[in-house]
Chains A and B, each alone.
Chain A
Amino acid sequence: MPVTPLDRARRWLFGPVDARVVGWMRASLGALLVTSHLAYAPELDALFAPDALLTQGLFRSDTRWLAWYRLVPDAASLDLLHGALVVPALLVLVGLGGRASLLLALLAQLALMHSNGLAQNGGDRLLRMWTLCMLGSNGTAAVALDAWWARRRGRVPPAVVSGLAVRLVQLQLAWMYCSTGLAKLGGSTWRSGDALYYALLAEHFQRVGGLFTPERLGAGVALWITRLGTWLVLAWEAGFPLWVAWRRTRWVALALGVVFHLGIFATMMVGTFSVVSMWGYLAFVLPALPALGRTGPAVIPVRATPTRRPPPGSAG
């Protein structure tokens, strides 16, 4: 029977991956969720407290029922709520509760967003996307307390799981870079090569105030470096799906991405965006690792899908 393009697409989307790939992705996402959630703590009162100066008159949200941080009466309750809402992220980190903990972690992120969306950045949005993507696979079949608990109860967790989450993360990353790259093609500063010059001089993003000035960047070698960097970023972003689809350019494209994100992290204050973006690279890197990359009996010892271990003495 001929294999149709739809079959290929289905196989690509839902095909199996080593459960440890999804397990490590889930655990590291949990670490990001915990860190990102706790990083709110010093500014909770300023961003959400009912009597905070800058929050007066805001929040005409039609999803008020999800704006949990706006429903608490005082600062002490705010701390309590924030403390309680880190629990789902911790569950994701240790792999307890399967997809339910991911759903709860998503709800906690939505509560922050609907309570004060103006304080959110691209990193927060991408973190929500990653949480949504991870719902596509069973992430607690390995590297998880769920798996450990299953073994203790005589069940054998699956060694391979549907790779939908991995594919969704790959698609999301490719879409994000490519759509942004194409939008930049319409921007005059990207075509002229001056975009990086302007980006580095946007002071509210600068990690070190005054490190870059128009006098230092606007002439000579520095200007040409920023121009070459601009065009390189543009070509890399707009063509990202092609670069990662082609095996020969995949690793160069991912390595360039790491360099770009580390460069942004070192010079600009863009919240968690750099780190959260690089998390998505795990969807390319982990399946390619020799220890995790291949599925099937040739690499992984044969294990059953969840089933009861036979009672002692009944073997044979």
Chain B
Amino acid sequence: MSDLFDSIVSRIREDAAAGLLPGHLQTASIEPGMTLAELGVDSLGRLALLTALMDLTDQYIPDTAFTEAQTLGAIVDQAAAMARPSS
């Protein structure tokens, strides 16, 4: 798993502890192949994920990242690709 994936998992656990994401995510296994629905992430949770990804990558990430990618791992990969400097 990438550093970014580990970082986003850490942020998910923090947001779960704060009550903004489902409480079970504080300790549950979070795998790249899991969908947001499987994680129990609703529209508020998507906002939390989006802002966390933007903060971690210092990059604007459009909402489409969540519609185009089906799994958490794919969303993170897409965010990482957007953050990568273009050659």
Q: Do A and B come from one complex?
A: no
Interface residues of chain B, those whose CB is within 8 Å of chain A, are none
Interface residues of chain A, those whose CB is within 8 Å of chain B, are none
